[in-house]
């Protein structure tokens, strides 16, 4: 097993990776910006290297600085976490060229799935159901022609996109030009590429994703599905597993479809296939070739430590179990806690004056926040994840109510009040929501 791993990330995911490494007897190296010198993962790591100023482009996205830190500290591998460089194929290649293991899939697999049109081709080759869509759109006229062929409403997406960026909806021909230009501009700003394509816009879908693990020997398992339909501006807010929208037959069907597709392309590492689900039908959306923010709820119901498995697979180990060995138990829900005004959603960085995380049976908090810590204003506003697990969904909801009431974060505003309102809504309690539900009802939450 690896002796030393560099964690090329920050925040709660960096701490999550550190913990997995330490439980496996692996030493860790934390890289950090000047703004994160007092971060918990930096304080706990065996070694720490400052790689630049606060701006991400000068630190966490600085590939040369990270490779230099890895070389100087003599690490065996680099774990990219999620976000930042986790799906950067060029970075993965750089890591391997320096004789260091990249804890993730091969660069060519990252590159293929990072190109949304190539990912659609992969889906077609593997027999995955896909949303009707276009090839790359060269200009507005091409967009208009494809929209007529596909049928309104349509959504224009960044070819190199992700995270809800570079996506614009057009309900008719009058909106298509504006949507096309805005999607291209946002794509260029977010991904340095203004290439876009078009898909049919589904009206009331659920967002269902399937977690997979695959080793270098052709062994592949899925760890069930997650329902990530509670979203705001295409950003996930609450996730749960299993999905209340699926029956057992549909659950087994989509899990096996995902497992076979991943096996067909020879994928290695952890990955997630995302689907839209509407009127009993699944439509492939994309594949994320990295650890997901919401992985803890899958760990809760499957009993599999996904980060540990990433490390083992990258070191050449076999999974050591088959699909039949995976037994799902109960239900789990995750709330993403952001340092934001719960009504305006304006980020609210600042000093934490009091911190008390909830506990008890079936309650997990992933965060590196502590009393006295100052949240820097330069990064994503998510500061904690509350994960609750139990035997039944109703039991989990009761436990989640209690855990949110017990959660104390003073000094900054957080989205805890928003979560309390969401899980009290009859539609959420009954599992009757889609990806538009939160934005449609957010102003009326009581």
Any idea which residues carry the catalytic annotation? 290
Q: Which of 340, 243, 337 is nearest to 293 (CA)?
A: 337
DSSP collapsed to 3 states, 337-366:
EECECCCCCCECCCECCEEECCCCCCEEEE
Residue whose pair of structure tokens reads 């230009």 in the numeric block: 181
Q: How far apart are CA 13 and CA 82, in angstroms?
A: 7
The strand order across the sheet containing 47-52 reads 47-52, 27-33, 4-7, 77-79, 101-102
* 8 A C-beta contact, residue 209 and residue 200: no
> What angle in degrees, to the nearest 10, is found between the helix axes of 306-314 and 11-23?
70
Which phi and psi (to 5°) does residue 315 adopt?
-90, 5
Q: How far apart are CA 196 and CA 186, in angstroms?
A: 10
* 8 A C-beta contact, residue 150 and residue 134: yes
Q: Which of 367, 363, 364 is nearest to 414 (CA)?
A: 367
Cα of first residue to Cα of last residue in the chain, in angstroms, is: 51
Q: Which of 226, 288, 231, 279 is nearest to 255 (CA)?
A: 226
Residue whose pair of structure tokens reads 């490390």 in the numeric block: 311
Cα–chain-centroid distance for residue 193? 21
* 8 A C-beta contact, residue 34 and residue 325: no
Please give the angle made by the CA atoms of 122, 126 and 128, to the nearest 5 degrees. Answer: 90
> What angle in degrees, to the nearest 10, is found between the helix axes of 116-125 and 248-264?
110
328-339 burial, b if ≥16 CB within 10 A, otherwise e? bebbbbbbbbbb
Helix (H) or strand (E) holding 13, with range, is helix 11-23
């Amino acid at each position: 097993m690896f002796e030393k791993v560099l964690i090329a990330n920050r925040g709660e995911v960096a701490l999550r990776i550190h913990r997995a490494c330490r439980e496996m007897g692996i030493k860790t190296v934390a890289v950090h910006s000047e703004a994160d010198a007092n971060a918990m993962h930096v304080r706990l790591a065996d070694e720490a290297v400052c790689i630049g100023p606060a701006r991400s482009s000068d630190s966490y996205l600085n590939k040369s600085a990270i490779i230099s830190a890895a070389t100087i500290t003599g690490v065996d591998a680099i774990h990219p976490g999620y976000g930042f460089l986790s799906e950067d194929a060029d970075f993965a290649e750089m890591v391997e060229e320096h004789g260091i293991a990249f804890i993730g899939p091969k660069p060519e697999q990252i590159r293929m799935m990072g190109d949304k049109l190539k990912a659609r081709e992969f889906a077609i080759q593997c027999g995955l159901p896909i949303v009707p869509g276009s090839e790359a759109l060269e200009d507005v006229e091409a967009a208009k022609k494809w929209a007529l062929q596909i049928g309104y409403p349509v959504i224009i997406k960044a070819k190199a996109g992700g995270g809800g960026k570079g996506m614009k909806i057009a309900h008719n021909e009058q909106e298509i030009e504006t949507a096309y230009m805005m999607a291209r501009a946002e794509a260029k700003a977010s991904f340095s590429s203004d290439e876009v394509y078009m898909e049919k816009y589904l009206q009331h879908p659920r967002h269902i994703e399937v977690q997979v693990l695959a080793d270098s020997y052709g062994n592949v398992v899925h760890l069930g599905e997650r329902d990530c339909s509670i979203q705001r501006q295409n950003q996930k807010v609450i996730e749960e597993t299993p999905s209340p929208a699926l029956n057992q037959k549909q659950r087994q069907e989509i899990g096996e479809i995902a497992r076979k597709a991943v096996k067909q392309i020879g994928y290695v590492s952890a990955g997630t296939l995302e689907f839209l689900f509407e009127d009993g039908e699944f439509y492939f959306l994309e594949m994320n070739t990295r650890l997901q923010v919401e992985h803890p709820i899958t760990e809760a119901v499957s009993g599999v430590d996904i980060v540990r498995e990433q490390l083992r697979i990258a070191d050449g180990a076999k999974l050591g179990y088959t699909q039949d060995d995976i037994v799902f138990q109960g239900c789990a829900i995750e709330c993403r806690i952001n340092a934001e005004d719960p009504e305006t959603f304006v980020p609210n960085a600042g000093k934490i004056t009091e911190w008390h995380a909830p506990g008890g049976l079936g309650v997990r908090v992933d965060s590196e926040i502590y009393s006295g810590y100052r949240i820097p204003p330069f990064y994503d506003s998510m500061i904690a994840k509350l994960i609750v697990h139990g035997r039944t969904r109703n039991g989990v909801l009761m436990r989640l109510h209690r855990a949110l009431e017990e959660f104390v974060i003073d000094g900054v505003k957080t989205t805890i009040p928003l979560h309390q309102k969401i899980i009290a809504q009859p539609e959420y309690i009954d599992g009757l929501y889609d990806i538009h539900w939160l934005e449609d009802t957010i102003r009326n939450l009581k």
